[in-house]
Amino acid sequence: MTKLLREMPKVELHCHFDGSVPMETVYELGEEIGLTKEYLSQIPVTGQCEDLEDYLKSFDIILKVLQTKDHLKRATYATIKQIAGEGVKYLELRFAPLLHLDQGLTISEVIDSVIQGLHQATAEFDIDVNLIMSAMRSHSAETNMDLVAAIQKLECPELVGFDFAGAEPDGANDHIKPITDKMQENNFHLTLHSGECGCAHNVVQAIKLGATRIGHGIAVAKDPKVMKFVSENNVLLEVCPTSNYQTSGIKTLADFPARTLMDANVKFSISCDNRTVSNTSLINEYQILIDYHHFTIEEFIQTNRDGIEASFARAKTKVALTEKLNEFHNKLH
């Protein structure tokens, strides 16, 4: 089964760059700036965290090795290389440029360094990659407006989406409209972390702001009306089972609401969130859905079709990805 899951051409839409840099690369970069292996080895989460905020502590460590142009470029290359090795053919990699400014880089230098690593990796491996810019909920509106202003000036075809990440209180989307409006005016697609740890209402609000995808969104499974709203608006959830378990969004992996969502016609695509912090892979996430929720290969093909459709890729890329998936599908029969 693992071989088949690896061979299946997959899309991954919810992947945080900082949380997904391979440990081997983190050690290598960390050593260059005097960080010990013992300190860095605390990054992967073991077991269940108290909540999302507790889970996010690992990022304070990782971010220390992602503060120079060279490190950003190398880390991006290594991350994409690893993901391509899992049979992912299209990736949307997201990151928060404002978290990489500690040593004096500008926002455009951060983005440019990541794009250099991206180009190096996509030239070498069979994978297409686009980028999503994440604003942080913990930053002030003014700071996030600075981010918007900097992004607007850039002309990079890889910048396709915009997101808000970080701890998500009830009402988290109450005050972000000026920013999400501005990004949509600039032709950025919108996906928002919402309903990750309990607030279905945040998902409704995210959709009203224009989000066509929702990061996690599993809280909707508790509310049939909200599921109906999600389904009627053809919004796709980017689900990440291990991460939801670790942040205590669900109590056990068996509680992951895959079947509830499917029964309510809520589309979703499967992702890792943070490979390294969550110590997982996309193959492992698929295996969890097989083990706990009896997923079939046909169902994974469907989640990938839905993922392609809801992706922020250009039409040409979507056609090419669909062809790859059809080819794989045909070979099964």
Q: Which stretch binds Zn ion (CB under 5 A): 110-118, 199-207, 266-274, 312-320?
A: 266-274
- Name the H helices within the chain: 2-7, 23-32, 37-40, 52-55, 57-62, 69-84, 107-124, 141-153, 177-185, 200-208, 224-232, 241-246, 258-263, 282-293, 297-310, 315-332
Q: What are phi and psi of 133, to 5 degrees?
A: -90, 125
Shortest distance (Å) from residue 28 CB to Zn ion: 25
Q: Using the minimum distance from each CB to Zn ion, give the nearer residue, 18 or 328.
A: 18
Other C-beta atoms within 10 Å of 271: how many? 27
Q: Using the minimum distance from each CB to Zn ion, give the nearer residue, 86 or 273.
A: 273
Q: Which stretch binds Zn ion (CB under 5 A): 3-11, 57-65, 166-174, 211-219?
A: 211-219
Of 181, 239, 230, 234, the closest CA to residue 202 belongs to 230
User: Distance (Å, rounded) from C-alpha 115 to C-alpha 304?
Assistant: 25
Q: Does 285 bind Zn ion (CB under 5 A)?
A: no
Q: What are phi and psi of 270, to 5 degrees?
A: -100, 135
User: Looking at 12, 92, 196, 238, which residue is catalytic?
Assistant: 196
Q: Which stretch binds Zn ion (CB under 5 A): 198-206, 208-216, 256-264, 316-324?
A: 208-216
Shortest distance (Å) from residue 59 CB to Zn ion: 11
Q: Using the minimum distance from each CB to Zn ion, give the nearer residue, 75 or 301.
A: 75
CB 207 within 8 A of CB 214: yes
Q: Using the minimum distance from each CB to Zn ion, give the nearer residue, 12 or 273.
A: 273
Shortest distance (Å) from residue 333 CB to Zn ion: 36
Shortest distance (Å) from residue 221 CB to Zn ion: 18
User: Distance (Å, rounded) from C-alpha 191 to C-alpha 230?
Assistant: 13
Q: Does 92 bind Zn ion (CB under 5 A)?
A: no
User: Distance (Å, rounded) from C-alpha 23 to C-alpha 293?
Assistant: 30
Q: Does 273 bind Zn ion (CB under 5 A)?
A: yes
Ramachandran sector of residue 171 (left: φ over 0; alpha: ψ -120 to 50; beta: rest): left
Other C-beta atoms within 10 Å of 317: how many? 16
Contacts of 138 (CB under 8 A, 6+ apart): 166, 167
Shortest distance (Å) from residue 132 CB to Zn ion: 10
Shortest distance (Å) from residue 224 CB to Zn ion: 25
Rg (CA), the chain: 18
User: Distance (Å, rounded) from C-alpha 282 to C-alpha 302?
Assistant: 16
12 is catalytic: no
Q: Which stretch binds Zn ion (CB under 5 A): 35-43, 60-68, 114-122, 209-217?
A: 209-217
Q: Using the minimum distance from each CB to Zn ion, give the nearer residue, 30 or 215.
A: 215
Q: Which stretch binds Zn ion (CB under 5 A): 173-181, 203-211, 265-273, 301-309?
A: 265-273
Size of the site for Zn ion (CB under 5 A): 2
Q: Using the minimum distance from each CB to Zn ion, give the nearer residue, 161 or 215.
A: 215
Known catalytic residues?
196
Which residues contact Zn ion (rule: CB under 5 A)? 215, 273
